Copies of this chain bind each other. A is one copy, B any other.
Amino acid sequence: MKSLKDYLDKINPVDRNITTGVQKRLDSQTKPLGSLGRLESFCRQLASVQGTVDPLYEKKVIFTLAGDHGIVEEGVSAYSQSVTAQMVANFLNGGAGVNVLAKHAGCSVVVVDMGVASDLDFKGCVGRKIDYGTKNFTKGPAMTREQAEKSIVTGIELALDYDFDILGTGDMGIGNTTPSSAIVSVLTGIEVQEITGRGTGIDDNALMKKVNAIKKGISVNNPDPADPVDVLSKVGGFEIGGITGLIIGAAIKKKLAVVDGFISTAGAIIAQDLNEDISDYFVLSHLSAEKGHDIFAKYLGKKPVLDLGMKLGEGTGAALAIELIDAAMHIYYEMATFDQAGVDKKIEA
């Protein structure tokens, strides 16, 4: 097995020079300069990521990674741990939110067991279980360092194994906003309570327990902010490491990653902290309604594509953003130019 370091060494910066040619094409089309705003930036980014003025965009895959969390013992979630496995079955049956929105966006969904607490023998589920859930991080590390690295490498290799032009990330794991807030608090130095919210809908009492559990986990394990793998192992989760890996894997393949919401952005922060060149390889699909996600986005220096008050995870935000990116690429390839349409250009001042 290649090491994480081997893979990180394979990442190259995107080719920013490509954007000149892309913008030239966009500017030849029958619209005022720059008038399609962010749609035009999607075209530039996809081209610079792929290193060509003719980027591909038709094959779109959302990876929904599932894992369980020992921290649920502390009463940090509104749902019981059994729901993680039940939702995996729901994904495989096509009934969940991500299935509906992915289908709408022309994406396939790959469902991966990264560390669900029970044995899953569901047809179609990709088995990459690192362990039967993480440990309760108020009592010690969530996982070993080897497991943390393995979760990231597993994500990388998933991205390398599947064929796609655009990758979307997604997560399922009861309790996983808790490790996400913990990871980001350590890596960014932002106070725990600033970036810890109600997840799937906990009350004030459970929110207090959640904040305290995160603080205790950080205090007990003393993760090193300069070492993202250490942070992932101490207070993280298998599916979060997997998402970090998916984003790294997309960058290695020179493909765009569309990062879902709160949990996926925690994974993206680990990825970017591991290698800053990765930043140009992903977009944040939407601003989650989960408290603190705006702070995550700011740390990454990115504006999420959508702001629809969503907080479901699974890859639902990624699916919607991919639909807009797809629309942008249709503009790029299909819109008429001024010359083709016989439309007069802007009056020169």
Contacts and interface: CB of A to CB of B under 8 A. Distances in A.
Contacts of A331: 97, 100-101
A252 to B, nearest CB: 29
A316 interface: yes
A108 B106 CA distance: 20
A8 interface: no
Contacts of A93: 336, 341
Given A36-B97, A36-B310, A79-B346, 11 more contacts: A31-B96, A37-B311, A78-B346, A82-B344, A86-B342, A93-B341, A100-B334, A100-B335, A104-B330, A307-B307, A323-B327
Interface string A327-349: 10011001110001111101101
A205 B347 CA distance: 14
B201 A32 contact: yes
A83 B341 contact: no
Contact of A90 (B311, B323, B341): B341
A89 interface: yes
B104 A327 contact: yes
30 contacts: A29-B97, A30-B87, A30-B96, A32-B201, A33-B201, A35-B312, A36-B97, A37-B289, A37-B308, A37-B309, A38-B310, A39-B310, A78-B347, A86-B342, A86-B343, A87-B341, A89-B341, A90-B343, A93-B336, A93-B341, A95-B340, A96-B335, A96-B336, A97-B331, A104-B330, A201-B346, A206-B349, A308-B324, A323-B323, A323-B324
Interface residues of A, number: 62
A65 interface: no
A316 B347 CA distance: 23
B327 A37 contact: no
A110 interface: no
A200 interface: yes
Interface of A: 29-33, 35-39, 78-80, 82-83, 86-87, 89-90, 93, 95-97, 100-101, 103-105, 199-201, 203, 205-206, 289, 305-312, 316, 320, 323-324, 326-327, 330-331, 334-336, 340-344, 346-347, 349
Given A78-B347, A86-B343, A331-B100, A95 B336 contact: yes
Nearest to A289: B37
A103 B309 CA distance: 27
Closest 6 CB pairs of A and B: A95-B336, A37-B309, A32-B200, A38-B308, A35-B312, A37-B310
A321 B316 CA distance: 16
A340 B93 CA distance: 11
A188 B310 CA distance: 33
Contacts of A347: 78-80
A36 B98 CA distance: 11
A30 B36 CA distance: 36
Contacts of A343: 83, 86-87, 90
Contacts of A336: 90, 93, 95-96
A344 B85 CA distance: 10
